[in-house]
Chain A
Amino acid sequence: MKYNLLLFIFMGIISCDYFDPKTFFYTNPVDSRFDSNIQLEKIKAPVLIDENNYNFLVISDTHYYQTDLNYFDSIQKYVNEYQIEFVVVCGDITQAGMEYSFQLAVKDFQRVSIPVYAVFGNHDLSNNGFSLFSTYFGRTMYDFSFGDTYMVFLDTANGILGDKQKKWYKSILNENKKSNIFVFNHFTLFDDLFQTPTAMPYPEETYFFTNINDQYNIDYFITGHLHRFDDRTVRDVKYLSLAAPLSSYGKAVLFIVTGNDISYQIVDAVFDDR
């Protein structure tokens, strides 16, 4: 009887696309994704009225699956009030990288009148996630600049930065001349007191980030993945981790850039309708 139950659970896991068990054994390596990214079209910077004074919104971990979650209808209501010029979704856009989930996400993103930039997360990598993400959103690792701002979007969907992306990150920061620097990444660098698999699993990469972010004066390193809000400053770099839209606190953060002065405020109200 108990073996039948175990078999039933096992069959349930492998037949359901909500969770992709093979990701525990194999996922598309980050270095090979780096090579694929080069062949994709560059992602354009948003066109802003004032490139040095603007606001943008960051949310994370939307986890679209089979239902239309309709987050962006709520956000659209606040676009004028908060003068939001673009939105960044900090990874885990879909639950298991299924095509219908990506289609739902794109449909929802189109409900706002402003551009939406996507970060590639570990859930997006499941199944055939990388190729679908590339089809719907383009590159998974990219950068752009406007005014005095430089933005970098990293791909750590495996939890790893990888050798090629590490070199690329170092080289683009070295070439950068802008002073307001934002980096978006799905995996958090720092975990809770009790370590869980939610932070970047290779400590050396965490130390690499800690050092290089300090060296190149990154202003904000923004992540998701934890599904809870965390805010800390290490070596004068601010590390912000966002909660998921259905969490209680820290699920939407509005950044206000006024010249070289950057501040943020939590605007969870944008999801109050949810």
Chain B
Amino acid sequence: MGKSFFYILILFFSFETLFAYRENSIDRFTFSKKSLLYDFRTIDFESYIILEMNKGFGEYAFGKYVIGFEISTLINPYYSLLFRYDTKILEKTSIINRMKILPFLHIISGYTFWNYSEYSINEHNLYLHTDIRLSILKYARISLSGGPGVKIVDLNTNDFSFNYKTDYFTQIILSWRLSFNFFITKYFHTAVEISNLYDNDQISLGALQLESKNTFYPSKRYGFVLDYGVGFAGSGSVSGFINRFWISFGGFYRHEI
């Protein structure tokens, strides 16, 4: 029971992050009759949720299936300069200028769940990454993301006791990802990524992987992802050797708030 409660708590906080920074600029506007004013306090946020389901197959090193999902949100703050013109006849609020404060900076928070049913182990990852995006050309973009993550591993899914180090353990991990994105057509985007993540996006340190992520957008809301790559593992970041190769195919649904 305790463990289930803990999972619900994690899910709650991961969803909570989606709404934590969102403010409605209009609601915050100070009403004042017969006045003309500028309100500089208002900040609005663009954010959207990406719901992604992935199922990996063709795992070279282990030849086994891992199933899981990822929920993430991307936040990029806007600065809105409001102009309010108010007479007894007409009340009107309009946005005269709306711009991104730091157009290259995004904040990505998310939750990833992976189920290792073969080992009776579940893995929960919560992360908060900053993502710096530099558009070098109309069709190309470099992005560098990184930040802390918390991994919570349930060491025995068949046992409902809840003791730290014995039944579960937590770890704080720093991860990074350098991504070269190419927007080839309106319906297709490909990226070459180098990161210290693992094939199934488990956040971890002491690893290096190179992957190609291909995203197809038949619609603005949903799409498909074909992801393949190679991973190195070893005592140093690249001191090991290629010990895994994977291809995964997944779909996503993107909902803008």
- Evaluate contact between B155 and A234: CB separation under 8 angstroms: yes
Of A196, A201, A208, which contacts B233 at CB under 8 A? A201
Take A207-B119, A232-B165 as given contacts and tell me if A195 and B173 are in contact as well, using a CB distance cutoff of 8 Å.
Answer: yes
Which residue from B166, B172, B204, B239 sits with its C-beta under 8 Å from A233?
B166
Chain B: which residue is nearest A123 at the CB level? B235
Is A93 on the interface with B (CB-CB < 8 A)?
Answer: no
B151 contact set on A, CB distance < 8 A: 195
> Closest CB-CB distance, B158 to chain A, in whole Å?
9
- Is the Cβ of A24 less than 8 Å from the Cβ of B236? yes
Q: Which of A27, A193, A232, A234 sits near B234, CB closer than 8 Å?
A: A27
Contact (Cβ within 8 A) B206 A159: yes
B119 touches A203 (CB 8 A): no
Contact of A197 with B205 in the complex, beta carbons under 8 Å:
yes
Give the size range of B's interface with the partner.
35 or more
Known: A27-B240, A211-B119. A201 touches B62 (CB 8 A): no
Determine if A3 is an interface residue (Cβ-Cβ < 8 Å): no
Quick check: A25 and B238 within 8 Å, CB to CB?
A: yes
The residue that A159 contacts in the complex, of B120, B171, B174, B234, with Cβ under 8 A, is B234
A203 touches B234 (CB 8 A): no
Q: How far is the CA of A234 from the CA of B206 in the complex (A)?
A: 23
A197–B166 alpha-carbon span in the complex (Å): 21
Selected contact of B155 from candidates A23, A29, A235, CB within 8 Å: A235
The contact string, 1 if C-beta is below 8 Å from chain A, for chain B 152-177, is 01011001000001100111111000
Could you tell me the distance between the alpha carbons of A29 and B153 in the complex, rounded to whole angstroms? 28
Enumerate chain B residues within 8 angstroms of A160, measured Cβ to Cβ. 233-234, 240, 243
Please state if B207 and A201 are interface contacts (CB–CB under 8 Å). Answer: yes
User: Given A29-B241, A197-B205, A233-B166, does the pair A204, B235 have CB atoms closer than 8 Å?
Assistant: no
**A34 at interface, CB cutoff 8 A:** no
A241 proximal to B (CB < 8 A): no
Q: A163: which B residues are within 8 A, CB to CB?
A: 61-62, 243
Q: Which residue of A lies closest to B241 (CB)?
A: A29
Q: Are B119 and A210 in contact (CB under 8 A)?
A: yes
Are B119 and A24 in contact, with the CB atoms below 8 A?
no
Query: What's the Cα separation between A27 and B239 when bound, in Å?
Result: 6
Contact A203 B204 (CB under 8 A): yes
Counting CB contacts under 8 A, is B45 at the interface? no
What's the Cα separation between A194 and B171 when bound, in Å? 6
> Which residues of A sit under 8 angstroms from B173, Cβ to Cβ?
195
Give every chain B residue within 8 A of A24 (Cβ-Cβ): 236-239
Q: In the complex, what residue of chain B is closest to A231 when comparing beta carbons?
A: B165
Contacts of A182 in B (CB 8 A): none
Residue of A nearest to B116 (CB): A207
> Whole-angstrom distance from the CB of B186 to the nearest CB of chain A?
38
Closest to B114 in A: A203
- With contacts A193-B171, A195-B172 taken as known, whether A157 is within 8 angstroms of B235 at the C-beta atoms is yes
Q: Which of A162, A192, A197, A204 contacts B206 (CB 8 A)?
A: A197
The answer for the CA separation of A109 and B162 in the assembled complex, in Å, is 44
A140 proximity list for chain B (CB < 8 A): none
Point out the residues of chain B lying under 8 angstroms from A208, CB to CB.
119
Most buried by B among A29, A163, A203, A235: A203
B198 CB within 8 Å of chain A: yes
| Residue on A nearest B62 in the bound complex, by CB | A204
CB proximity to B under 8 Å, residues A27-55? 27, 29
The answer to whether A202 has its CB under 8 Å from any CB of chain B is: yes
Chain B residue contacts of A211, Cβ below 8 A: 118-121
Cβ of B123 under 8 Å from chain A: yes
Within the complex, what minimum Cβ distance (angstroms) separates A157 from chain B? 7
Residues in B181-208 with C-beta less than 8 Å from chain A: 198, 202, 204-207
A158: which B residues are within 8 A, CB to CB?
233-235, 239-241
Set of chain B residues within 8 Å of A214, measured between Cβ atoms: 156
Q: How would residues 35 to 77 of chain A score, 1 for a CB under 8 Å from any chain B CB and 0 otherwise?
A: 0000000000000000000000000000000000000000000
Q: Measuring CB to CB, which residues of chain A are less than 8 angstroms from any residue of chain B?
A: 23-27, 29, 122, 125, 157-160, 162-163, 187, 190-197, 201-204, 207-208, 210-211, 214, 232-235
7 residue pairs from A and B, CB less than 8 Å apart: A159-B206, A160-B240, A195-B172, A195-B174, A210-B119, A211-B121, A232-B166
Instruction: Name 8 extra pairs, CB < 8 A, besides A195-B205, A201-B204, A204-B61.
Output: A23-B236, A23-B239, A26-B241, A29-B241, A203-B153, A234-B156, A234-B166, A235-B159
Leading 6 A-B pairs by shortest Cβ distance: A201-B206, A211-B119, A197-B206, A159-B235, A24-B236, A122-B235
